[in-house]
Each structure stands twice: as C-alpha cells, then as structure tokens.
Amino acid sequence: MQLNDIHRIYFIGIGGIGMSALARFFRLQGAEVYGYDRTRSELCIALEMEGMHIHYEDDASLIPGDVDLVVWTPAVPRDHQELNWFIEHGYPIKKRAEVLGIISRGKKCVAIGGTHGKTTTTTMAAYLMRTCGIDASAFLGGISANFRSNFVEGSEDWVVVEADEYDRSFLQLYPDIAVINAIDPDHLDIYGTEEAVVASYEQFIRQIKPGGTLLYKHGLPLEKIAEELRANGRKVATFGIDQGDFEANQVRVEDGKMTFGLRSSIIKWDRLQLDYPGKHNVENACAAIAVTLLAGGFTPSLPDALAGFRGVKRRFEFIYRNQDQAYIDDYAHHPAELTAAISAAKMLFPDRKITGVFQPHLFTRTRDFAGAFAEALSMLDEVILLEIYPAREHPIPGISAQLIFDQIQNNKKVLLNKNQLMQFLQIQHIEILLTMGAGDIDAYVEPIKHLLESKNN
C-alpha cells in the first residue's frame, strides 16, 4: 500500500501523543481521519477542531465504511472490540510504529532515541533545524510550545522523529542520523532483562543507513558498536558536558537561564543561552545542535535559535509563577527522569523549599525500580506520593506505592490517593511545587494552578 492510496484512515487510540501526530500528518495529506479514544482529552478536542471524526465508545457500529488503513497502538488492549472487528473483517492493520517507519523511509531521517530526553531533544532538533534553514517535517512525542503541535509539516526531504524503544517500535526506523541520549533499564515488562534492552538499541543503531551518523552521549556503553559502524563506513560522534566531540563547558545559571559554551571540530561558541533549566537539557541541546550542524543547518543562526526555544508541554513546564512561588509540571516517570527534574529545580531555586508530587506509572515499573524512585524522591524537601496509575496493567500482589514510600529517606512525606491531593495542598505552604508522572496526574495541573492563584489573591 502506498501512502497516496490512503483516503480514509482509522486510528484506535487516536488521542495518544504519537498517534495524534500521525493523524495530523494524514489529515494534512487530504485523507479523511476517523478514530476512537477512551477519553475526550484536550488533544482529542483539538483534533476534532482540525476536522477529524472521533468517538469515545468501543463500539464497532460507529466505525465508518471503506476504511483504507487501520492504525493501532500497543497501549490498546488486545480484547478491544473495534480492533478485533477490523481483524475479523480482514482490514489492513498496522501499528503506529510501522506507519511512522513507512513515512520516514522515503526521507532523510533524524531518529532520536534513549530512555529519557527523547521528546525534548527531538523537539529542539526540529526547531533548530527549521530556524536554521532546513524545512524539516517532525513527529514529536509532546506538544511543542514553539510549534503548538506535535506534528510539523516541512517542504524538504528531512524528517525528525522520536525513536521509541517501547515494544521495540524504533526497529521500524532506518535513520540517516541516529541520536542516543541514555540507555537505562526500562520497559522490563517487554524486554525482560537490561541486556535485552541494550541489544535492542544495538540493533536500532545497526539500521543507520550507509554513510549515516551515530551521535550518542559520551560514556554510554556503545564503543564496540561504534567501532563496528566506523568499519562499515558510517560516522560516529559523541556529546556531553566537559566531554565528547560536541562538548558543553562552563555550564551555569545566569538570570534564570542555562548558560554554557560549546566546542567541536566544526564550531566554537563561548556563550550560549537556553531558557530551559537543568544540566540534562544542556546535554539535550548539545545533541540537537550537533544534529542541526550535521544536517547542514545555517550555523550563524544557531545561538539565537537556541535562545528562542520554548520547550515542550509537561517537560519542566512552568504552570504558575510569581515572586514567591513557582509551580512546575513534568512527565518524569523513570527514576533518572525524576532525578533530572528535581536536580533542575534545585539548581534553579537553590534556597527554596521544593515540594514534589509523584504518581508512579505501572505496577511493573514500581516493582522494578522502587528503591531508585525512593532515592530520587529523597532529594525533595517534602514528598507527596500518590498511588500507582496502572495504565494497561493489572495489579500485582504486594506491589503498591507503599513499596516506594517506605524507602524514602525523608521525614516530610505523605502517601495519598489522588482524590485527597487537592484538599492536602490547600493547607500546605508552597514555595516551589513540582508535579511528576506519566499517568493522569496532568488532570490536576489546572486545579492546582487555580488553587495557587486563589490563595494569592
């Protein structure tokens, strides 16, 4: 099936961040877009306003006729009625990752992977490339503040995509430039072992096109496969803070902005500024700058482009701020991501009390990383821990948020269910508040914002 043969397409789980980007792509190609989602979210409402047809009941009678392609995501359970109806009636069905692979295969592809940092780096790379003269398309894993979307249509052959390791989705991609930010154990419900995670990343790296480039964070265990790539005519470069081929140095906070120098064999800058806190975001910026230079972006535009980057929704997103308080929301759901978000807050507000609200995501992830979650949360001045958001999983006996709570080395900690959160915050003295998690904690962002506003009026 060719892409231009698709005139009517159906998405099961259309409100997912990756699915909705594909839906926007096909809508802009002129296709009629239909879909199902469990919740009429803010993103689904936006898709409806863009002309897509969405319903919210798992009901095969609501499916339109003459669908050319059905796209589904593994986040949808296998017993989903509509999915099984399409299977029984012989419709062409593809996973989201397969469709993204088909779209990107006919273009020059930048694929950005890693256990964390993917979404920010992908968004930053797309923004820098486009600002520096490369009109690339982009499929993003979050809503860009600059683009106000998770999909950007460009006129050139370049496409920037997030290489998602979940369900080995990134093995559908064959990039010209591949970026690896981190390789930490995650999704062990899929992979089983840390070794299997690394093996999957190595397979993804081997799919770099002839003449292409691997760009990875200095220090990751990829030296062996890097040598293999060089022997096969591909290029390899590293990035990092005070190390790597693209090296950030003199990293500091000035006027609330990350300020740093950057040097490589291509260019040297003494003072770059990024209005996006945390050393991890300086590393993300190094990768995005390197991608832009390797793709042929207009170098003199880069410093101003970087200063103009406004971030991604739910990635250290400032929701409310006044002279005395700040409220930040972050998607962090892995121990390393919690550590990065909390470290960024402490770096930005070194003399303030930082209160963190964390909602664990998945029973398996809680089981696998309870100790590491507790260690990260112990960095906070005050900890509010919520019960686990199960997402696609069924409960596991003996696994609950209590497992994390008991290991947190902080006397100022409380374990709540989410229905108690607003009442508890009402009586707290908040200086810096950080909400973290990949479940439905984002439903509390606006209520928390209104609470802080009302307490300050």
pLDDT mean over 371-397? 95
Of 316 and 405, more confident: 405
* Element holding 177 (H helix, E strand): strand 177-180
* Pure H helices in 278-383: 279-294, 302-307, 335-348, 363-377
In the numeric block, which tokens belong to residue 216?
Answer: 């990875």
Would you say residue 5 has pLDDT above 90? no
Nearest one of 23, 83, 28, 75 to 53, comparing CA atoms: 23
Q: Is 385 helix (H, G, I), strand (E, B) or coil?
A: strand
Of 197 and 137, more confident: 137
Instruction: Give the gyration radius of the chain's Cα atoms.
Output: 22
Q: CATH fold of 317-455, please? A: Protein-Tyrosine Phosphatase; Chain A (3.90.190)
DSSP codes, 81-105: HHHHHHHHTT--EEEHHHHHHHHHH
* Cα distance between residue 189 and residue 166, in whole Å: 10
Structure confidence at residue 349 (pLDDT): 93
What are the start-end ranges of the E strands in 135-176?
A: 137-139, 151-152, 158-163
* Cα distance between residue 407 and residue 402, in whole Å: 9
The CA–CA distances, whole Å, from 213 to 101, 139, 228, 266, 290 equal 18, 20, 12, 15, 11
Check if CATH label 3.40.50.2300 holds for domain 3-95.
no
- Tell me the pLDDT band of 193, cut-offs 50, 70 and 90: confident
* Cα distance between residue 141 and residue 122, in whole Å: 8
- Tell me the pLDDT band of 188, cut-offs 50, 70 and 90: low
Structure confidence at residue 185 (pLDDT): 64
Contact indicator for 239, 214 with CB cutoff of 8 Å = no
For the chain, give the mean pLDDT: 93
Structure confidence at residue 384 (pLDDT): 98
pLDDT tens per residue across span 308-329? 999 998 888 999 999 889 999 9
CA angle, 290 as apex, 253 and 116 as ends, to 5°? 65
In the numeric block, which tokens belong to residue 388?
Answer: 């686990």
- Quote the longest CA-to-CA distance of the chain: 65
Tally: H helices and E strands in the chain:
15, 21
Residue 423, C-beta contacts closer than 8 angstroms, at least 6 positions apart: none
Structure confidence at residue 456 (pLDDT): 80
Of 374 and 186, more confident: 374
For the whole prediction, is pTM greater than 0.85? yes
pLDDT mean over 343-367? 94
pLDDT tens per residue across span 209-259? 999 999 999 999 999 999 999 999 999 999 999 999 999 999 999 988 999
Instruction: Please say whether the dihedral angle defined by the alpha carbons of residues 181, 187, 190 and 192, taken in this order, is positive or negative.
Output: positive
Q: Is 174 helix (H, G, I), strand (E, B) or coil?
A: coil
> If you average pLDDT over each of 72-86, 93-107, 228-242, which comes out highest?
228-242
Structure confidence at residue 78 (pLDDT): 85
DSSP codes, 193-258: SHHHHHHHHHHHHHTSPTT-EEEEETTSS-HHHHHHHHHTT-EEEEEEES-SSEEEEEEEEETTEE
Residue 357, C-beta contacts closer than 8 angstroms, at least 6 positions apart: 384, 385, 386, 421, 433, 434, 435, 436, 437, 441
- Tell me the pLDDT band of 65, cut-offs 50, 70 and 90: confident
Structure confidence at residue 186 (pLDDT): 66
Q: Where are the domains of the chain?
A: 3-95, 106-307, 317-455
pLDDT tens per residue across span 424-436? 999 999 999 999 9
Structure confidence at residue 191 (pLDDT): 66
User: For the chain, what percent of residues have pLDDT higher than 70?
Assistant: 98
| Superfamily of segment(s) 106-307 | Mur-like, catalytic domain (3.40.1190.10)
pLDDT mean over 366-372? 94
* Crossing angle between the packed helical segments 118-131 and 279-294, to the nearest 10 degrees: 40
pLDDT tens per residue across span 329-339? 999 999 989 99
Taking the CB of residue 190, how many other CB atoms lie within 10 A of it? 15
Structure confidence at residue 457 (pLDDT): 74
